[in-house]
Structure 1
Amino acid sequence: MKHCAPSLFARLANRAASIALLASAVAGCTAPPSAQRLPPSSDRVPPSNDTLPASLRATPQEVLQDALSAVGETTYECRSDGKRLSWTPTGSEATLVDQARHSVGTVTPGGYFIAYDRSQFVGAAAGEEIVNAGALTWERLVARDEAGARSNRGRFAKVTSVQRVLTSGGLPPVAACSEQGQSMLVPYTATYLFYRAAKAASDDTMPNSLAAP
């Protein structure tokens, strides 16, 4: 018996170590892949509205509702303008992550912002500025979907405009391409600021309301 005890203790110790290793691995998988790829939150503090270029500012009739980080890819297609071939952007696709680092929706080509609660905002570019020559432009989008087309409930139901700021990446390494029809995906990150009408500021049904910066 006294020869078996060390073996038993060794097996129990090995089993405990295996359980601890498995728990550690599971814990490391709880955050969505997109959140794991985001920079530290201190690097993503959005600028206040009044510090932005005039073309990107929300109107005085709007208040900030949401600040979401995004990580994804911008798609480019090799196209000809009749003289030369170049990479032409065809849209971005990304996962939207809240301040708790939870995935809450997606960005899709065409200016679509779709929350996992099925609410959505469809935007059209209203302003654009090159802030960093090595990254996607900062831009402002205003609603282009028809009045009444959206549900009255959900995260993006009452959004009136969106600002894309703090962009990183998203541009092709070179402007020229060699074969028409080729496509390329370029990773990018950004912060999207979602605004809604100020008159809805007291609406308790709006999720995750934020004070204006």
Structure 2
Amino acid sequence: MKLRILSPFARLANRAVPIMVLASACAGCATAPSAQQRVPPSNDTLPASLRATPQEVLQDVLNAVGEMTYDCRSDGKMLSWTPTGSEATLVDQARRSVGTVAPGHYFIAYDGSQFVGSVAGEEIVTAGALTWERLVKRASADTDKARGRFGTVTSVQRVMTTGGLPPIPTCMQQGQSLLVPYTATYLFYRAAQSGAGSASSVPLIDFAHEAHS
């Protein structure tokens, strides 16, 4: 695992390009670094705090390859790495890049649609890796973002994480940033149509037949 530590100046330069400009620039990318295709867990096997509601159905399964970012901050007593968000490429089951993850729990598709989440549940499932999470949609007045791939998403689960944690919690120089590689699988849910089954009953066979370990 290759870690990157950025000075305050390098950190600002690294983040100078706005999120939407990055998304637009990558819209024509045919492929992205491929995440290992893995069969995700079904909703009813997850811890209760991470499960989608019976009113939701599984819409999309995407893998992420990217970096978790941390800033060196002081709590008045000591310096420690404080998480500031993740930056990753979202890859579909055909290994095509379809969008990005950005700090603030932003999920931006290359068609311009987006989902912005708030953490509703969090569990330590894999030792030495990022927590598994459930994100629910934050209200947005931007109706233009309500169209496209992520336009109808109501919640997202982050599962099957690897990496993403600092090797040690403390740091040496305030203002530095640390970028730690991580991978994860994200499950995207939307509201079920009238008469549709619950989220826990949605089959994963369409995704699993292309997956391999």
Q: Rg bigger for which structure?
A: 1
1:144–1:152 Cα change, 3 Å: closer
Instruction: Give the letter for the 2:65 counterpart.
Output: V
Q: Which residue of 2 aligns with 1:115?
A: 109
- In 2, distance between residues paired with 1:189 and 1:155? 21
TM-superposed deviation, 1:34: 1.6
Matched, 1:69 2:63: yes
Instruction: Give the letter for the 1:47 counterpart.
Output: P
- In 2, distance between residues paired with 1:200 and 1:106? 31
TM-superposed deviation, 1:147: 5.8
Matched, 1:85 2:84: no
Select which of 108, 117, 132 maps to 1:138: 132
- In 1, distance between residues paired with 2:46 and 2:190? 18
TM-score (norm 2): 0.76
1:176–1:58 Cα change, 3 Å: same
TM-superposed deviation, 1:133: 2.1
TM-superposed deviation, 1:146: 2.5
Instruction: Give the letter for the 1:117 counterpart.
Output: D
Matched, 1:94 2:97: no
Instruction: Give the letter for the 1:153 counterpart.
Output: R
- In 1, distance between residues paired with 2:155 and 2:64? 17
Q: Which runs of 5+ in 1 are unaligned?
A: 1-29, 203-210
Q: Which residue of 2 aligns with 1:34?
A: 33
TM-superposed deviation, 1:150: 4.9
The 5 A counterparts of 1:40-51 are: 41=37, 44-51=38-45
TM-score (norm 1): 0.76
Instruction: State whether residues 31 and 101 of structure 1, in contact with CA within 8 Å, keep that contact through their aligned partners in structure 2.
Output: no
1:119–1:201 Cα change, 3 Å: farther
Instruction: State whether residues 73 and 80 of structure 2, in contact with CA within 8 Å, keep that contact through their aligned partners in structure 1.
Output: yes
CA deviation profile, 1:153-181 (whole Å, cap 9, x unmatched): 21001000000000000001111111111
TM-superposed deviation, 1:32: 2.8
The runs of at least 4 aligned residues of structure 1 exceeding 3 Å deviation read 147-152
Instruction: Give the letter for the 1:198 counterpart.
Output: A
1:76–1:185 Cα change, 3 Å: same
| Number of matched pairs | 172
| Greater RCO (Cα-Cα under 8 Å, separation 6 or more) | 2
CA deviation profile, 1:115-170 (whole Å, cap 9, x unmatched): 00001000000000001121000000000033664544210010000000000000
Across the aligned residues of Structure 1 and Structure 2, the Cα RMSD in angstroms comes to 2.1
Q: Which runs of 5+ in 2 are unaligned?
A: 1-28, 197-201, 205-213
The 5 A counterparts of 1:98-177 are: 98-146=92-140, 149-177=143-171
